[in-house]
Amino acid sequence: MALMDDNTTSASSASGGVGGGTVGVGNVAGALSALTSASANIKSAWDKSGASNVLASAQSNLPQGAQDTLAVAKSRIFNRQNLRSPAVFFGIGEEAPFYLERVPSLLTSRLQHNLSFFYLNYACVTALLFCLTLLISPTAIIGIGLLGMAWLALIRATSEGSIKVKGIIVTQKQATLAMSILSVIVLIWLLNHIFWMTIGTSGFLCGVHCLLRDASMHKDESDRVVMRGDLSLDEVADDDEAQFLNRAMGGGGASIGSMA
């Protein structure tokens, strides 16, 4: 009887562990689904509200010099070529990719170079940590989902261009502006602890990488000269040999003519 009780207890604990794992996977899947739905609703609301057109109009009203400066800054900062591969980021294949530099001047130079060289990778690490931290915060996920549903309800209510609230006619633009302000306040309240947790974690990890990663061998990548066209060494050798024979034959012919 004792053996049967032990077997029954083991089976029940195993089934409970499997059930707990299934519930955990279900919670993660539900969180991802809610987050995706909320982001899709907010994007749809943003597109239908015409806020992008307002931003584009505001940007077009800027002086041409300011527009050129913004365009150049955007192309340089968010250039995909500045996103380093994992092999370069972690120094895979290098002899000593991580070590602590003890000379202050060399350490300062390393920090400056790593910040300018890996800044886009550090931004991606921060964004990834933010998403992972958001997944373990059900309150924030539920709040974002409710906020997305509120945006969807606002879009449906103002589909005809305006809405009447207690006898006051509110246009779609005014309702969208008010909802945007409310969304910012709600997101700041919901994501406050997630933001600081992400900043602290990513700051520590990126700081350690920036301090220990020796990427000095990549400093001269901007000085590379891009070679275009095909270069055949056999053709060059053949041309040099032909020119040498032509000069030799020409010189020989001249010598024979002078002797005659």
Tell me what pLDDT residue 97 has: 93
Residue of 16 and 186 predicted with greater confidence: 186
39-43, 90-94, 134-138, 182-186 — which is least confidently predicted? 39-43
Instruction: For residue 198, give Cα distances in angstroms to 45, 155, 202, 246.
Output: 27, 32, 6, 73
67-76, 180-189, 240-249 — which is least confidently predicted? 240-249
Average pLDDT over residues 50-69: 62
Domain limits of the chain?
91-219
Q: Which pair of tokens denotes residue 31?
A: 């969180």
What pTM did the predictor assign? 0.56
Place of tokens 């299934």: 22
- The string of DSSP codes covering the chain is -HHHHHHHHHHHHHHHHHHHHHHHHHHHHHHHHHHHHHHHHHHHHHHHHTHHHHHHHHHHTS-HHHHHHHHHHHHHHT-GGGS--HHHHHTTT-S--B-----HHHHHHHHHHHHHHSHHHHHHHHHHHHHHHHHT-HHHHHHHHHHHHHHHHHHHHTTTSEEEETTEEEEHHHHHHHHHHHHHHHHHHHSHHHHHHHHHHHHHHHHHHHHHB--GGGGGGGGPPPP-S---HHHHHHHHHHHHHHHHHHHHHHHHHHH-
Count of CB atoms situated within 10 Å of the CB of 81: 6
Residues 6 or more apart in contact with residue 145 via CB below 8 angstroms: 34, 35, 37, 38
Average pLDDT over residues 27-39: 55
Residue of 55 and 187 predicted with greater confidence: 187
Encode pLDDT of 116-156 as tens digits: 999 999 999 999 999 999 888 888 889 888 998 998 888 88
Q: Which pair of tokens denotes residue 254?
A: 């001249």
Tell me what pLDDT residue 113 has: 94
Encode pLDDT of 159-215 as tens digits: 888 887 777 888 888 888 888 999 999 989 989 889 999 999 999 999 999 999 999
Q: Which pair of tokens denotes residue 3?
A: 């053996």
